Homo-oligomer: A and B are copies of this chain.
């Protein structure tokens, strides 16, 4: 398999959020190439894009750099994805399921087989991901590290995910198709529907938050961001299907519709 051929094969999307140094973007691209990850997305890289240092550090993985897509926000970068994991070095004050890199790679592999696309968010070199960015993910993923020496750089974190990703691919070649035929996403049988895209989910969020604003629920205004994050975090955890997102929107529309006089309410 050549690198070019690898690029026609589907693999999880690597999303670097506000990377600071071009070198790190380049070495992350090299780590991707080592393990046949092909799609890179960049959210607001600090030094702009394209970046000469990224290109020189990527030496050999240039096609990944050249094909990288640029976004202004995490939300825009994940809209077409069905599953988003946030790589973090430490747990946060947030209710969110935690997967190992290996389990995340395995789940993404199975979802890809089912025609769904996943991605992993990697944060800024120093500051990592914000709580809002993590809340927008389905899961947190963490690698086991020595707590006395926990610092992995960006390329190393991408390397470990890529390594786990390629390991799952070996099992695919060893006969995955007999193992999971049908609606075989472990843990979540989607039945007739498909997982909602993040775009559909954000449509629901906008609808819900508009109504909650109208109802005065998201107050005081200085607490609005944290309230919105908590609510979105809950609904992200549903892992909703497209049908379910429509149901959620139906519920909000129904609850806010002007009611007829309700003589039956006690």
Task: List A residues at the B interface (Cβ < 8 Å).
Answer: 1-6, 30-31, 33-36, 60-61, 91-100, 102-103, 140, 142-152, 156, 159-160, 163, 166-167, 169-170, 174, 178-179, 183-193, 208, 211-212, 214-217, 230-231, 234-235, 237-241, 244, 247-248, 250-252, 254-260, 262, 264-266
Docked-complex contact A191 and B240, CB < 8 angstroms: no
Inter-chain contact A187/B60, CB cutoff 8 Å: no
The copy count of this chain in the complex is 2
Nearest chain-B residue to A256 (Cβ)? Answer: B255
Chain B residue numbers with a CB within 8 Å of A250 are 217
- Asked whether, in the complex, the Cβ of A146 is within 8 Å of the Cβ of B259, the reply is no
Whether A146 lies near B186 (C-beta < 8 A) is no
**Chain B residues with CB under 8 A of A230:** 244, 247
B256 touches A259 (CB 8 A): yes
Q: How far is the CA of A235 from the CA of B188 in the complex (A)?
A: 14
In-complex Cβ contact of A95 among B5, B159, B189, B237 (8 A):
B189
Whether the Cβ atoms of A91 and B35 lie closer than 8 Å is no
Q: Are A146 and B95 in contact (CB under 8 A)?
A: no
Specify which of A60, A140, A190, A238 lies most central, judged by the most chain B CB atoms within 10 Å of its CB. A238
Contact B98–A189 (Cβ < 8 Å): yes
Q: Can you report 30 residue pairs joining A to B where beta carbons are below 8 Å apart?
A: A1-B146, A3-B149, A34-B152, A35-B146, A36-B146, A60-B151, A92-B189, A95-B189, A95-B190, A95-B191, A95-B239, A96-B189, A97-B187, A97-B188, A98-B186, A99-B186, A103-B186, A140-B189, A142-B186, A143-B163, A144-B163, A144-B166, A147-B178, A159-B160, A160-B160, A214-B264, A215-B254, A215-B258, A217-B250, A237-B239
Contacts of A256 in B (CB 8 A): 255-256, 258-259
Please give 6 more A-B residue pairs, beta carbons under 8 A apart, in addition to A30-B149, A97-B239, A256-B259: A2-B148, A144-B179, A146-B174, A160-B163, A231-B251, A258-B259
Query: What residues on B are CB-neighbors of A262 within 8 Å?
Result: 214, 260
- Contact check, B241 vs A35: say whether CB atoms are below 8 A apart: no
Complex alpha-carbon distance, A187 and B91, angstroms: 12
Closest to A208 in B: B251
